[in-house]
A and B are shown apart, each in its own frame.
Chain A
Amino acid sequence: MTEPATSAARLTIFTVVVAAIVVTAGAYLYFARVESSTAATGQTRIADEAAQAQAIASVRRGAHVAFRNMAPGPAYGHLTFASLEPGATRHAASLSCNRIHFSDRVGLCLAIATAPAGFRGYLLEDGVRVVQTLELPGMPSRTRISRDGRFAAYTVFVAGDSYLASGLSTRTRIIKAPSGDDVADLESFAVIRDGKEIHSVDFNFWGVTFARDANRIYATLGTGGRILLVDGDVAERTMRVIAEDIECPSLSPDGRHIAFKKRFGSGFDAWWQPAVVDLATLTVRLLPEPKHIDDQIEWLDDANILYAVGHSTSAAQRRADVWKLAIDGSSPPTIFLADAESPAVVRP
Chain B
Amino acid sequence: MYPIDVAGLRGLLASRTRASARPVIPRTVWLLGLVSCFTDISSEMISSILPVYLFVHLQLSAVQFGVIDGLYQGVTAVARLASGVVADRWKQYKLVAALGYALSAVCKLALLATGSAWGAVASVLSADRVGKGIRTAPRDALISLTTPAQDLGSAFGVHRAMDTVGVLVGPLLAFWILSSMPGRFDAIFVVSFAVALIGIAVLVLLVDDRRGDGAEHRVTLDLPGLLGNRRFVSIVVIAALTSFVVVSDAFLYLLLQWKRGGGAESIPLLYAGTATSYLVLAAPLGRLADRVGRAPVFLMGQGCIVLVYVGVAMFAIELWTLVPLLLLHGAYYAATDGVIAALVSGSTPTAARASGLAALNTATSLTRLAGSVIAGIIWSWRGPGTVVTLALLATIAVLVLSAMLLKGTESSTLDAGTA
Residues of A near any B CB (own CB < 8 A) = 1-7, 10-11, 13-14, 17-18, 21-22, 24-25, 28-29, 32-33, 36-37, 76-77, 96, 98, 112, 114-118, 135-137, 139-140, 157, 159-168, 201, 267-268, 270, 294, 310, 313-318
Of A37, A76, A168, which contacts B62 at CB under 8 A?
A: A168
B185 touches A21 (CB 8 A): no
For A29, what are the chain B residues with a Cβ–Cβ distance below 8 Å? 177, 187, 190-191
Is the Cβ of B187 less than 8 Å from the Cβ of A139? no
Cα of A168 to Cα of B146 in the assembled complex, Å: 44
Please tell me if B396 contacts chain A, counting CB pairs below 8 Å: no
Set of chain B residues within 8 Å of A112, measured between Cβ atoms: 52, 56
Residue of A nearest to B53 (CB): A315
Residue numbers in B under 8 Å from A11 (CB-CB): 205-206
A256–chain B nearest beta-carbon distance, Å: 30
Q: A139-B52, A315-B185 are in contact. Are A2 and B13 (CB under 8 A)?
A: yes
Residues of chain B within 8 A (CB-CB) of A316 are 183-186
CB-defined A-B contacts under 8 Å, sample of 10: A1-B146, A14-B206, A25-B194, A116-B268, A135-B263, A140-B56, A164-B373, A316-B186, A317-B182, A317-B183
B244-257 interface bits toward A, Cβ cutoff 8 Å, 1 = contact, 0 = none: 00001011011000
Q: Give the residues in chain A near B27, CB-CB below 8 Å.
A: 3
- Closest chain-B Cβ to A319's Cβ sits at a distance in Å of 9
Contact A33 B250 (CB under 8 A): no
Q: How far is the CB of B385 from chain A (nearest CB, A)?
A: 14
In the complex, the answer to whether B185 meets A268 with C-beta atoms within 8 Å is no
Binds A, one of B133-141, B196-204, B354-362: B196-204
Contacting residues, chain B, for A318 (C-beta < 8 A) = 57, 183
Residues 57-97 (chain B) with a chain A CB within 8 angstroms: 57-59, 61-67, 69-70, 72-74
Give the shortest distance, in Å, between B203 (CB) and chain A (any CB): 11
> Are B201 and A21 closer than 8 Å at their CB atoms?
yes
Given A3-B13, A14-B202, A118-B268; A294-B185 close (CB under 8 Å):
no
| Cβ B175 vs Cβ A161 within 8 A | no
B26 at the interface (CB under 8 A from A): yes
Tell me the residues in window 133-175 of chain B with beta carbons closer than 8 Å to chain A beta carbons: 146, 148, 171-172, 175
Given A32-B187, A33-B181, A164-B372, does the pair A139, B55 have CB atoms closer than 8 Å?
yes
B19 interface contact, C-beta 8 A: no
Determine the distance from Cα of A322 to Cα of B175 in the docked complex, in whole angstroms.
28
Q: Counting chain B CB atoms within 10 Å of each CB, which of A36, A115, A165 scores highest?
A: A165
Contact at B112–A315, with CB atoms within 8 Å? Answer: yes
Q: How many A-B residue pairs have CB under 8 A?
A: 193
**For the complex of A and B, 9 pairs with smallest distance between CB atoms:** A5-B11, A114-B179, A25-B194, A135-B264, A317-B183, A313-B115, A313-B116, A36-B181, A315-B186
Q: A17-B201, A159-B65, A315-B112 are in contact. Are A32 and B51 (CB under 8 A)?
A: no
Q: Could you tell me if B66 and A168 are in contact, using CB atoms closer than 8 angstroms?
A: yes
Instruction: Given A10-B205, A22-B194, A315-B112, decide whether A98 and B56 contact each other with a Cβ distance below 8 A.
Output: yes
CB atoms of A115 and B55 under 8 A apart: no
Q: Given known contacts A6-B10, A32-B184, A36-B184, is B267 in contact with A161 (CB within 8 Å)? A: yes
Name the distance in Å between B53's Cβ and chain A's nearest Cβ: 8
CB distance from A261 to the nearest CB of B (A): 11
Q: Chain B residues with Cβ under 8 A from A161's Cβ? A: 250, 253-254, 267
Whole-angstrom distance between the Cβ of A31 and the nearest chain B Cβ? 9
**Interface segment out of the listed B299-307, B312-320, B375-383:** B375-383
* A33 to B72 CA separation, bound complex (whole angstroms): 30
Q: Can you add 14 more A-B contacts, CB < 8 Å, to A25-B195, A32-B184?
A: A6-B9, A6-B10, A21-B198, A36-B182, A114-B179, A115-B176, A116-B171, A135-B264, A157-B55, A159-B55, A160-B250, A161-B254, A270-B61, A315-B111
| CB contact between B251 and one of A7, A163, A270 (< 8 Å): that residue | A163
Knowing A160-B250, A164-B373 are in contact, say whether A117-B268 is a contact too (CB < 8 A): yes
Query: Which A-chain residue is minimally distant from B265 (CB atoms)?
Result: A135
The answer to whether A163 and B379 touch across the interface, beta carbons within 8 angstroms, is yes
Q: Is the CB of B266 within 8 A of A165?
A: no
B178: CB under 8 A from chain A?
yes
Q: Counting CB contacts under 8 A, is B292 at the interface?
A: no
Q: Give A37's nearest chain B residue, CB to CB.
A: B181
| Chain B residues with CB below 8 A from A25, complex form | 190-191, 193-195
Say yes or no: A267 contacts B372, CB within 8 Å.
no
Contacts of B1 in A (CB 8 A): none
Q: B372 contacts which chain A residues (CB < 8 A)? A: 163-165
B181 near A165 with CB under 8 A, answer no
Minimum CB distance partner of A33 in chain B: B181
Chain B residues positioned under 8 Å from A165 (CB to CB): 73, 248, 250-251, 369, 372, 376
Minimum CB–CB distance from B202 to chain A (whole Å) comes to 7
Name the B residues within 8 Å of A167 (CB-CB). 66, 69-70
Complex alpha-carbon distance, A112 and B184, angstroms: 14
CB within 8 Å of A: which B307-363 residues: none
Q: How far is the CB of B250 from chain A (nearest CB, A)?
A: 5
- Asked if B69 and A168 make an inter-chain contact with CB atoms under 8 angstroms apart, the answer reads yes
Q: How far is the CA of A270 from the CA of B10 in the complex (A)?
A: 58
Hey, which chain A residues are within 8 Å of B188, CB to CB?
315
Shortest distance in angstroms between A16's beta carbon and chain B's nearest beta carbon? Answer: 10
Complex contacts, A157 vs chain B, CB 8 Å: 51, 55, 62
| Of B9, B57, B181, B375, the contact of A163 (CB 8 Å cutoff) | B375
B153 to chain A, nearest CB (A): 17
